[in-house]
Amino acid sequence: MKYINLDHISSNPLLPEVKQVMIDAINRDYHNPSSQHKAGEEAAAALEKARVQVAELLNADTPKEIVFTSGGTEADNHAIKGVAMANADKGKHIVTTNIEHNAVIRSLRRIKSDGFTVTSLSVDDKGRVNPRDVAEAVTKETILISVMHSNNETGTIQPIEEIAAIAHEKKILFHTDAVDSVGIVPFDVKKIGADLVSFASNTFYGPTGVGGLYIRRGAKVYPILDGGVQENNKRAGTENLIGIIGMGAAAEIAVRDIDRRYAYLKSLKDKFLRELPQYLDEVIINTHPVHSLPHLVSASVKYIEGESVMLMLDDEGIGVSTRSACATGSLRASHVLLSIGLSHADAQGTLVIAFGVDNTAEDVDRFLKSLKTVVTTLRDISPLYKKAAGNG
């Protein structure tokens, strides 16, 4: 039986074209891009080709605005800590939201020990922050506003352009964690007005363990890794050349396929949301109905635990998630879901369904049928369900 992967938010399979590009690069046995001899120059040329490909995906003004990292987490750390170190003489206050990825939250927590203060803003019941709240939170000490483009648990997209405009009006740097957006939705750093953008290759079907940080030309950001002068002296350490070559190929394909990819993913998501009520009742949809990623749905199934649903679906050959992969192992309810107003019980019953280009309409049909069977089984033994139904 075919295994159906509906957890494309944690990672995505390599596109066949990307895999072949990486195999060819491995077989070529590239040298160190920083070496000054001919073999090093060939490697440097491959590195810069990938930088151009990624810059085009983000519509950067110049490829030099792209800094390669080990992934989204490093990019977020670089943005937060790099801005803090470079601009502490101007102020020590940062504005963010309470639904950010842990890479942002914990970076902010770390710099508090250096005297920085953080204002973390609340969101509405679909996970959107009000730009007016952002503007009101700014003080004379504010040096950075960091608001994620889309949330990796709910898929909700923030009013980023409005927030960026507020930052620029007040001459404050603006960072957005766009790890789950770049390559999935059309993304233009110039239109958005971002100064720093975090992204990751695996989101757009490239290799894991590689990503980047867009740093607008002129933005004052210090490197957080000390060592060599790689990445235009912005990120020390020999680059993951094979991974970066793969990311470049994936970026080029994303530029080519972005509109078709968006439409196809949204068709699967719309089918699921349209047909779900025929299979299950008492399900809370946490994803914004309009402002959201085309492929992700956060659904809280009342009266049962999402982890039990996930494990039983896995036995049926269907993979879903219950929260961010980076938070796996935590017994606490998701801070994102609590922030949008869910009770602890409903938060614990949440599934994150993320469709991919390898999924089909038939996959959605099989998932809905299996989901109904699993949820019915669990609700039959759930004391919460029996009590709600008046049978407890």
Catalytic residue numbers?
A: 326
Continuous segment of H or E residues that includes residue 305: none
Continuous segment of H or E residues that includes residue 69: strand 66-69
3-state secondary structure (DSSP) of residue 10:
coil
Contacts 24+ apart (CB under 8 A), 374-382: 374/309, 374/312, 374/313, 374/316, 375/280, 375/301, 375/304, 375/309, 377/312, 378/304, 378/305, 378/308, 378/309, 378/312, 379/303, 379/304, 382/303, 382/304
- Cβ–Cβ under 8 Å, residues 94 and 167: no
Nearest Cα to 150, choosing from 360, 361, 352, 359? 352
Residue in the block written with tokens 């590239």: 30
What is the maximum span of the chain, computed from C-alpha positions, in angstroms? 78
Nearest Cα to 218, choosing from 286, 259, 171? 171
Gap between the Cα atoms of 234 and 170, Å rounded: 26
- The answer for 303, left when phi > 0, alpha when psi is -120 to 50, beta otherwise, is left
Cα 278 to its chain centre, rounded Å, is: 31
- Cβ–Cβ under 8 Å, residues 137 and 119: yes
- In sequence order, the β-bridge partners of residue 150 are 157
- Cβ–Cβ under 8 Å, residues 211 and 198: yes
Contacts of 84 (CB under 8 A, 6+ apart): 92, 94, 111, 114, 116, 143, 144
